[in-house]
Structure 1
Amino acid sequence: MDTPPPPASALRFGVNYTPRRGWFHAWHDFDPGQAREDLAQIAGLGLDHVRVFHLWPLLQPNRALVRTSAVDQLVRLVDLAAECGLDVLVDGVQGHLSSFDFYPEWTRSWHHRNVFTDPGAVEAQAVLLRTLGRALSGRPNLLGLQLGNELNNLVEHNPVTAAEVDRYLDTLLAAAREGLGADGGLVTHSAYDAAWYGDDHPFTPQASARKGDLTTVHPWVFSADCARRYGPRSPQVHHLAEYGTELAAAYALDPARPVWVQETGAPEPHIPAGDAPGFARATLRNAAGCTELWGVTWWCSHDVDRALADFPELEYTLGLFDSSGHPKPIAEALSATVAELRATPAAPPARTTALVLDCTPSTRSVSGPGGAYFEAWMRLRQEGARPAVVLADRAEDTAYLKERGITELVRTG
C-alpha cells in the first residue's frame, strides 16, 4: 500500500449541522448570529468539521436561475464555521433531508423532469454545482463539495437504471470538480444504505466505492431493521459502522481508498436515550479500528424543535444538543471518546482475516442486517476476529490480498 493508514489522532470527527431554530427552513431568513452560536456549540465539543446543507428550491428556483443571495448565504456559513475553527463539507443538491424531499417547482407537476435522466435537469444541477464550487473555492476550511444528500432517496419518483445513475454521477462529479478546481478539495457523493443492501437498487456499491475522491457510508441502525432485529445494545448494532466501513472497502478498486462514515446516529426508539452514550462510544471506537477510515460525522448537531410538525418521531431526538441548545449526555460521551481516540498514537493493524462475499446485484441483501453474510461476519467479530471483507472475484488475486494485508480467507456456507 503506497499510502499508510492515518493514525487515530489524524482521523476527522464532526457533525452534520442542523440549525437549532427552524431546522433547514432557517435558510428562508438566514441569521448569521444564530448560525454562529450553533457552530460555536459544536466546536466546543472538540469536533473539527461540519457538513452543511442548503435547499435546492431556494438555490435554484428556476432551471436557468441560481440565486446569488442564496449562494452568498452558504458562503457566509462556511466563513462562520472557519471563525469557530471548523472545516466544512458542503452538500449541493437537497434533495432529501430527514424524510422530506425538496424539489424546485420546475421539476414537479406538469413540468415534471426526471432529475436523474432528463438532460435539462441534469445540466441544471451541473450548473448549480459549478456555481457553488466557484463561490467556495479557495476557502482554507473547505473540505470539499458533495453532490447532495442521499440522492438515491429520490429514485421512487424518478425511475432510473444503474447505467443511467453512473452517467448522472459522472456528469455531476465532473461539474463539481470543474467548479472547485483541481486542488479545491474533495468531490464526493452519498447514498443511503439501499446502495449496499438493496437487491437491484440502481445506486450500486461499485458507484459508491469507485466514483468520487473517497467513499461515503451512512450505516443507520434502522436500515433493514437492524436495531429492532438484534437489540439496541447488540454487537450487530455496536459494530454496524465498522462493518459498513469494511464492506465499502471491499468494493473499492484502490485498496488505499478512504471511507468516510458520514452519517450515523442514535434514533429513538431504535436506540433508547439511556443507551445512546454507550452506542456513540462503541460506534466511534469500533469504526476507528478500520485502517481505511477517514473519519466519522455524527447525525446530527441539534434536535428538531417539536414546534415543527410532521417529522417522523425519531427525527426529533437525533441531536447532540436539544432544541434549546443544551448538550445531551450523548454529546458528552461523543466528545470524550473523540478526545480519547485523538490521543491514540498508532494506526490500527491491518485485518489479516477476511470473509469472502459472493453476491449478485439481485442478492445484495445477504450483506445487510438479517442476511447470511452479515450474520457470518458478525459471528466472526464476536469470536474475537477482526474480519475484513473481500469480494469473491478478488479472492484469488494474491497481489491485491497482500496489499490489504490479508493472509486468511474465510468462506460462508
Structure 2
Amino acid sequence: MIELLLDEGSISRFSEGYFGTVDGRPVCVMYKDGEFSGCKTEILDFALKVGIPIVNIFNCEGFEVSMGTLSDVSNLLSKLGLANGVVPRITVFLNKVHWLLSYQTDFVAMSEDTEYSVVMPDIIKSFTGRDVEISAEFHSKSGNCHIIGESDEIVFSLIRKLLSFLPLNNMEDPPIAETRDDVRRTIDFEIPSDPYQPFDMKSLISQTLDDEDFFEIQDRFAQNVIIGFGRLDGVSVGIVANNPAYRLGCLDVDGIRKVTYFVRFCDAFNIPIVNFVDTPGFLPDFDQEIAGLAKHMSRLIDIYSQATTPVLTVVVRKAYSGFIGMGLTGSDVIFSYPKAEFAVIDADTDSSILNVDREKYVENVRRYAIDTFVNDVIDVKWTRSKLINALRLLEAKRKKLPPKKCDVL
C-alpha cells in the first residue's frame, strides 16, 4: 500500500511508520494492518517536529481489548489532535475498519469496498435490533468521507493530487505549480437570465481555473454547495460555491457545516478562498430550524470574519439572505456579474413587502450594492483574469485578530 502513495525509491522505515516523498515533497505515513494491538507515535512526533503532512492508513478491523491498547489509542488521538491546524492530516480506511479515528483528521478517503463504523455493526444491532449501513457510499453521502475511489490505486492517486494543493505545514504557503494557461484566457459561459433556472456551476468553476482542473471533495454530501481545490496562475485556491442545480443552491445545516469546515481548513493552511455565490437564501424547512440553522450560520460567519487568508467573492446571479454569511462577510474583494440580484430576503418577497415593482427594486438594490460593498462589476468572460489580478494584490495581506484563547461558539 505504501508504494501506491510514496514516490518510488523514497520510502524509508521510521519506527512503526514511514517517511518518503510525494512528487518530491516530504510526507510521513502511519500504516496499521491486522488487529490494532498498540501503536507507537514517533512518526507523528516526527511529522510535527519537522512540519510535514501525515497520512494515516488503517487496514485493521478493530483493536485488541486491553487497557494498554486503550492507552495507546488515547495517546494516538491526542497526538493527532495536537497536529490539528499545524500539518495536513489525511486518513485512509481500507476494507473493514471499526473505530474512532475518522474524527481526528482533515480528510478521510475510502475505496468503494470499505466498510467503516465507530461501533461494530453487530454491537449496534444487538443494542438497537437494526442493521446499519456502513459502506463507503453511505459515508460519502453523510459527510464522513471526503474522497472515494473505485479501487485502492485510485484512492491513493487522488490523495497524491490532494497533497499537491497543500502546504507542508501552517507556516508555509501552498506550492506554486507551473502552468501555461493564459492569465487573460476568457470564459465562454452563459448565465441563465431566469434567477431560478438551474445551471452547471462546476463548469463555470472549471473554466475559471488553470487548465480547467477542479479537484472537488465531498461531492456526494450536501450537494447544494460545492467545495474543492484548484489553481489560479499556479496558486492553490479553495473554491466554495452554491450549486443552483441542487435545491437551487439553498443553504441548509449540512451545506453550512461543509463550507465551515473547508473555510477553516483553508485559512489554517494559508490557502486563498474564492466564493461563487448564487443562492436564494436558507432552505425554508422547520427541521432545519430544529437542527440549529441559526447557530451553524453564526459559526460560518465567525469563520469568514476571522479568515486571515485572502477571500475573493464572485456574485454570479442571486445574492439573497444567505449571502450575508457566505460571500459578504470577510471578503477582501467582491466582484459581481452585471445581472446579479441582491436582496435581504429575496427579490420577490422584498419588492412585495415594499409594494414596489420587482424590476425597479432589483435595479435600485443593485446600484446600492455597487456603491457600497461590490468592488467591481465584471463580464463573465473576464472572471479568470480579474480573480488572478486580485490574488496578486492580496499576496501580502495581513490581518490582525483580537487576542483571545479560543473560540467559544
* TM-score, length-scaled by structure 2: 0.31
Who wins on radius of gyration, i.e. which is larger? 2
Q: Which has the higher contact order (CA 8 A, sep 6+)?
A: 1
* TM-score, length-scaled by structure 1: 0.30
